[in-house]
Amino acid sequence: MEHRVVLTGSGVVSPIGLGLEEFWKGLKEGRNGVGRITHFDPSEFRSQMAAEVKNFQPEDWIEKKAVGRMDRFIHFAVAAGAMAMQDSGLAEYPFDGNRAGVIIGSGIGGALAIQEGHAILHESGPKSLGPFFVTKTLINMAACHVSIRYGLKGPLSAPCVACSTSSNAIGDAFRIIQRGDADIMLAGGSDASVNPLPYGGFCGTRSMSIRNDCVEKASRPFDKNRDGFVMGEGSGVVVLEELEYARRRGARIYAEIKGYGNTADAFHFTAPDPEGDGMVRVMRAALEDAGIEPQDVGYINAHGTSTLLNDQAENAAIMKVFGEHSRKLKISSIKSMIGHLLAAAGAVEMISTAMSVYTGILPPTINYEEPDPDCTLDYVTHGAEEIDLEVALSNSFGFGGGNVCLVVKRHGD
C-alpha cells in the first residue's frame, strides 16, 4: 500500500524575510533581496553582489551558549526547522519520535567555519582549533541538530547534490512516508556561502553575474540580457506527513505531494545538457509517478537561475515535455528575488510552489525586461498573478547534472 503524503508546515530563512508569512508576502510583492555584499569587502571580487539574509539573530532560535558551536548554515537550518514545526502544529503535539525523521542537506556545509579554522591553524597552530571545528563543518550536522532538538528518531540523512539537494531531501522524505516507514518527516536544505572562500570559488566558475554597477537588476531569469546567477543564502524546511495521520490530528494541509523524479544528465560537471535531456526525463518521470497528465499542469516554479545555458535548456525541456500545452503554462522563477540559495533553493522554491497551489497566487519573475528569442514561454513578469491552480511542478537542476522534479497538487479530499 502506498500512503499519501501532504505538506503541513514550512519554515523559511530567506533574503526577503524570515518565516513563511514574511517570505510569501515578499514574493507576492516582488521584493528584491539582492544587494552589494555586506558580509565582507567584495571590491576585489569579480562579482560583488549577493542575496544576503537580513536581521537574522541565531539567539532567537538557539540557546546562546550553543550558538558558537554551530556554523551559520546550521543556525539557518535550526531556525527553519523550528518555524516549520511551529507552523505545522507539531511543536506542541505529542507525536511518536520513532515514527518521525529528518533529511536536511547542504551543498557547501560549514564554509565559514572552514575559512575561520584555516586562519586559526596558520596563525596559532592545530591545538587552537577547538573541539567544535569538525561538528561545525559537517554537512549532516544541520539534520542532526534538528533531530536532537525534537526527538526525531526515525530516518536521518543529509544529501549533498548541489543545487538540487533540498529537492532530493523532500523527494526522499516523500518516499519514506509513502512506503510506510514514517508518519512525519522534516526535509529541506541550508547553505550560508556568502563568505570569501566559497564566494571566490564561485566567481572562478564564471557562472555568476558581474552586473556590479546595477546589482538589484543582476538576477534576471529568462531575460535576454542575463549574465549569470546571484548567490543567495538561507534555509527552507518543510513538514511532510502521511495524509491520514495529518487528518487525525486536525492539521492544516497546504498541498499534497504527488510525484518525485530524479535523473542525472551524465554530461558535464557544471553545464546542463543543452538539449535538456535530463530535465525532460525528470519531468516525465515525476508526472508518471504522480499519475498526472502533462495537460493537467497549470504552473511551473522553474529552476530559472539567470544563466544563459540553464534558462535556455529548461525552456527547451518544458516545450518537449508539454508540447502545445507548454504555451498555456504559467512559469516563474523566484531566484529573481532571492538569488540562488544553492542547496536550500529547492526547498524554498517547493514552499513557494505549495503556497501557489494553496492560494492560487503565482509570484512574479522580476527584472524581466527584454524577451530572449530562445526563452519563449509564458513567464509571470508583470507582478503576481492569480489563477485557478490544481497542479504545479517545482524544478531543481544542480551542478554535476542532478535533476529533481516534484509534483504538487491542491488538496481537496
Task: Categorise residue 384: left if φ over 0, alpha if ψ from -120 to 50, beta otherwise.
Answer: beta
The sign of the torsion formed by the CA atoms of 319, 408, 402, 166 equals: positive
Cβ atoms of residues 7 and 254 within 8 Å: yes
Q: How many CA atoms lie within 13 A of 29 on its CB side?
A: 12
Helix residue spans in 111-204 (DSSP H): 111-124, 133-137, 141-150, 165-178, 196-204
Query: How far lies 354's CA from each of 79, 306, 392, in Å?
Result: 20, 22, 8
- CA Rg value for the chain: 20
Cβ atoms of residues 346 and 404 within 8 Å: yes
| CA 237/CA 235 separation, integer angstroms | 7
User: 177-208 burial string, b = 16+ CB within 10 Å, else e?
Assistant: bbeeebbbbbbbbbbbbbbbebbeebbeeebb
3-state secondary structure of 158: coil
In the DSSP assignment, the letter for residue 3 is P
| CA 62/CA 55 separation, integer angstroms | 15
Q: Which residue has the cell 552589494?
A: 36
Active site residues: 163, 303, 340
| CA 391/CA 353 separation, integer angstroms | 10
**Cβ count within 10 A of residue 40:** 13
Copy the grid coordinates of residue 274. Answer: 543543452
